Homo-oligomer: A and B are copies of this chain.
Amino acid sequence: MTTIVVADDHKIVREGLVKLLEGRPDFTVIGEASDGEEAVQMVLDKQPDVVIMDIWMPRLSGIDATRRIGKRGSQAKILVLSMHESRTYVEEVLRAGASGYIVKNSASTDLLQAIDAVRGGASYLSPAITQQVVDAIARPGDSSPSGVAMLTDREREVLQLIAEGLSSKEIANMLGVSLKTVDSHRSNLMEKLDIHKVSGLVRFAIRAGLVEP
Contacts and interface: CB of A to CB of B under 8 A. Distances in A.
Contact of A162 (B199, B211, B213): B199
A203 B200 contact: no
A174 to B, nearest CB: 15
Interface of A: 162-165, 167, 197-203, 206-207, 211-213
Nearest to A206: B213
Contact of A165 (B167, B200, B207): B200
Contacts of A200: 165
A100 to B, nearest CB: 27
Copies of this protein in the complex: 2
Given A199-B201, A203-B211, A206-B206, 7 more contacts: A163-B199, A163-B203, A165-B197, A165-B199, A165-B200, A167-B197, A203-B213
The secondary structure that dominates the A interface is helix
List the 8 shortest-distance A-B pairs measured between CB atoms, nearest first: A202-B202, A165-B199, A165-B197, A198-B198, A206-B213, A199-B202, A165-B200, A207-B213
A201 to B, nearest CB: 8
Contacts of A203: 163, 165, 202, 206, 211-213
A200 to B, nearest CB: 5
Contacts of A163: 199, 203
A134 to B, nearest CB: 24
Contacts of A162: 199
A167 B167 CA distance: 18
A206 B211 CA distance: 13
Nearest to A197: B165
